[in-house]
Amino acid sequence: MASAQVVPLPRPEAKAVERPVLVVDLGGQYSQLIARRVRECRVFSELVPHSISPAAIRARDPWAIVLSGGPASVYAEGAPRVDPEILRLGIPTLGICYGMQLLAQELGGRVDRTGVSEFGKTELHAEAGVASALLDGLPPDQTCWMSHRDSVVSPPAGARVVASSPSTPIAAFEDERLRVYGVQFHPEVAHTPHGTDLLKNFLYGVAGAPPGWTAAAVIEEGVERIRAQVGSRRILCALSGGVDSAVAALLVHKAVGDQLTCVFVDHGLLREDEAAQVIATFRGHFQVPLIHVEAQERFLARLAGVEDPEEKRRRIGEEFIRVFEEEARRLGQVDLLVQGTLYSDVIESGGSDGIAAKIKSHHNVGGLPADMRMGLVEPLRLLFKDEVRRVGEELGLPERMVWRQPFPGPGLAIRIIGEVTRERLELLRAADAVLQEEIRRAGLYRDLWQSFAVLPAIRSVGVQGDERTYAYPIVIRAVTSEDAMTADWARLPYDLLETISSRLVNELPGVNRVALDISSKPPSTIEWE
Ligand code: XMP
């Protein structure tokens, strides 16, 4: 048959998931956010370095390319650039801020330092009577977020100016012939209220990408990928009680069933009811083969007399590995280990497999054995945290587990200042339970990055009834944050604080005082140890 007669079959639906939108990182602070926003539009995206070659781009067969913002001026020495051939591949390309300026410069337009900078909220005005694919269906006047010194003073030859701001006559241009589009403002930030609509116009309207990246599609694709990797081998997963390991385990179980064994090392340092919930969910509800190792006494014994926080961490980590290895040995030959590496870990480590694994182990339950010769399966490697939660919901994980706030591997041990004893542990766990209950009741749990009780193991004088008391204070710590790198103390309502305070001193013998931590990070840290 002559090749000319071969009609390509339409891509099967699953392929829509694998074809990405490539977000080229030109060094701007919002590159990762752009990738997340594209995914919020249900289109799979990947962040790639600006050094990527045209061949590598072609090989990925992307729906579209987005050039991110960048801190530099396009004229600065060493300013990040892309291979200009990439812009001539005929792939729909959207340049944002610096990315737009780069497009203009590479395609025959001009960028200048006009002496007018714009930072912050700016009014955007669509050019009357000029058709625009990006602004289609959006109000002619809208607020957008700008952050630039240089400006495009002439668009690429043949491109049409479609929007301006009071100080930037060329705030957006389009050229459907070359399939290049540029916006000076940042559609990815929340301060551009119609930013997501603009991205949708670009993704769906210009690039024709279908909104196929749904939790169901992620699961389907993940299951296929895991099956291919695992084959008929046995695989082990350490459950921590957190959302990442829970979702990773459920995905693997869905893919390979009882080839998976989960190990839950119960170190006794979790919050109230968490251990029971892990058992009920995995063994009871999902019927995942689960080994529940009751190691509470071992951990308490190892922590006896230890006051130094780093020493606590070290001992907990070491003991965790010891217990985990004992269980793994009991299971006989197991070749593979599940690891909950997220896409943000992969990005932050420059995409290298080895480094990603190392970074994640710090955040794991004390870290997993380095010398266990097992292959790693990383089912969450392509997912951002909010996607992990959506997948968890889709898989039927209970709401409490899906939305659990981050919790440190060493658990309550680093929230007891000084020695961890059974009495102190029980007191802190009970105090934390009261705090969590009231924060949930107030509807604030999901708004807070973390909220917890701290037990500084000192005592102070109080009076209850006619009696003088000498008991522990409890400190309330609640913070808002995006990523734990910085955090602000949460302004909890006074009424809520009052309820928590009176419940703590009334319900917990051994507590006679409640304090509120009003420090931000930096200079404080989120945890007390
Ligand atoms: P800091 O206290 O450094 O905490 O502001 C930042 C984030 O990391 C968590 N954290 C830990 N997580 N093992 C962990 O798995 C640890 O030793 C550890 N120390 C702090 C902390 O809860 C916060 O989310």
Which pLDDT tens digits describe the chain residue by residue (529 residues)? 333 333 333 333 444 457 999 999 999 989 999 999 999 999 999 999 999 999 999 999 999 999 999 988 999 999 999 999 999 999 999 999 999 999 999 999 999 998 888 899 999 999 999 999 999 999 999 999 999 999 999 999 999 999 999 999 999 999 999 999 999 999 999 999 999 999 999 999 999 999 999 999 999 999 999 999 999 999 999 999 999 999 999 999 999 999 999 999 999 999 999 999 999 999 999 999 999 999 999 999 999 999 999 999 999 999 999 999 999 999 999 999 999 999 988 888 765 333 333 333 344 444 566 666 789 999 999 999 999 999 999 999 999 999 999 999 999 999 999 999 999 999 999 999 999 999 999 999 999 999 999 999 899 999 988 899 999 999 999 999 988 999 999 999 999 999 999 999 999 999 999 999 999 999 999 999 9
Residue 348 tokens, joined: 């932050």
**141: burial class by Cβ within 10 Å (0-12, 13-18, 19+)?**
exposed
Output Rg (C-alpha) for the chain, integer angstroms.
27
Among protein residues, the one with the nearest Cα to ligand 1's atom 22 is: 408
E runs forming strands in 185-332: 235-239, 260-266, 290-294
Contact predicate 520/481, CB 8 Å: no
4 Cα–ligand 1 center, Å: 60
Among protein residues, the one with the nearest Cα to ligand 1's atom 21 is: 408
Any ligand 1 atom below 6 A from CB of 525:
yes
The residues assigned a catalytic role are: 97, 186, 188
pLDDT of residue 350: 67
Any ligand 1 atom below 6 A from CB of 415:
no
pLDDT of residue 483: 85
Instruction: Select from 3.40.50.720, 1.10.287.610, 3.40.50.620, 1.10.10.10 the CATH code of 214-402.
Output: 3.40.50.620
Any ligand 1 atom below 6 A from CB of 521:
yes
Any ligand 1 atom below 6 A from CB of 360:
no
Please calculate the CA angle 473-425-490 and round it to the nearest 5 degrees.
Answer: 50
Q: Which fold has domain 16-206?
A: Rossmann fold (3.40.50)
In this structure, how many other beta carbons lie within 10 angstroms of the beta carbon of residue 369? 16
Q: How many helices (H) and strands (E) does the chain have?
A: 16, 22
Any ligand 1 atom below 6 A from CB of 410:
yes
513 Cα–ligand 1 center, Å: 26
Q: Which atom of ligand 1 is nearest to the CA of 409?
A: 15
Contact predicate 246/392, CB 8 Å: yes
Q: How far apart are CA 412 and CA 420, in angstroms?
A: 9
Contact predicate 339/376, CB 8 Å: yes
Q: How far apart are CA 492 and CA 483, in angstroms?
A: 20
Q: How far apart are CA 450 and CA 440, in angstroms?
A: 12
26 Cα–ligand 1 center, Å: 30
Q: Can you say whether the dihedral through the CA atoms of 115, 117, 122, 128 is positive or negative? A: positive
| Per-position b or e across 73-111, b if 16+ CB within 10 A of its CB | ebeeeebbebbeebbeeebbbbbbbbbbbbbbbbbebeb
The secondary structure of residue 131, as a DSSP letter, is: -
409 Cα–ligand 1 center, Å: 8
* Closest to 90 in 3D by CA, of 173, 206, 187: 206
pLDDT of residue 17: 57
Helical axes 296-303 vs 309-330, angle rounded to 10°: 150
CA 513 to chain centre: 36
Any ligand 1 atom below 6 A from CB of 409:
yes
CA atoms in the 13 A half-sphere facing the CB of 233: 18
Residue 131 region, left (φ>0) first, then alpha (ψ -120 to 50), else beta? beta
Domain edges within the chain: 16-206, 214-402, 415-516
Q: Which atom of ligand 1 is nearest to the CA of 313?
A: 17
Contact predicate 427/421, CB 8 Å: no
Any ligand 1 atom below 6 A from CB of 411:
no
* CA dihedral of 113, 27, 138, 167, whole degrees rounded to 10: -20
285 Cα–ligand 1 center, Å: 30
Q: How far apart are CA 260 and CA 255, in angstroms?
A: 9
Q: How far apart are CA 122 and CA 186, in angstroms?
A: 11
Q: Which atom of ligand 1 is nearest to the CA of 528?
A: 2
Any ligand 1 atom below 6 A from CB of 527:
yes
pLDDT of residue 14: 45
Q: How far apart are CA 163 and CA 260, in angstroms?
A: 55
Any ligand 1 atom below 6 A from CB of 313:
yes
The class that CATH gives domain 415-516 is alpha beta
226 Cα–ligand 1 center, Å: 30
Residue 108 tokens, joined: 């025959």
48 Cα–ligand 1 center, Å: 28
Q: Which atom of ligand 1 is nearest to the CA of 525?
A: 5
Q: Which of 344, 527, 528, 529 to mutate to test the pocket of ligand 1 (most atoms within 8 A of CB)?
A: 527
455 Cα–ligand 1 center, Å: 17
Any ligand 1 atom below 6 A from CB of 69:
no
Q: Which atom of ligand 1 is nearest to the CA of 487?
A: 5
The secondary structure of residue 174, as a DSSP letter, is: E
Among protein residues, the one with the nearest Cα to ligand 1's atom 18 is: 408
| Per-position b or e across 42-56, b if 16+ CB within 10 A of its CB | bbbbbbbebebebee
Q: Which of 526, 528, 529 to mutate to test the pocket of ligand 1 (most atoms within 8 A of CB)?
A: 526
Q: Which atom of ligand 1 is nearest to the CA of 481?
A: 24
16-206 against 214-402: fold identical: yes
Q: How far apart are CA 349 and CA 327, in angstroms?
A: 31
* Closest to 152 in 3D by CA, of 86, 75, 87: 75
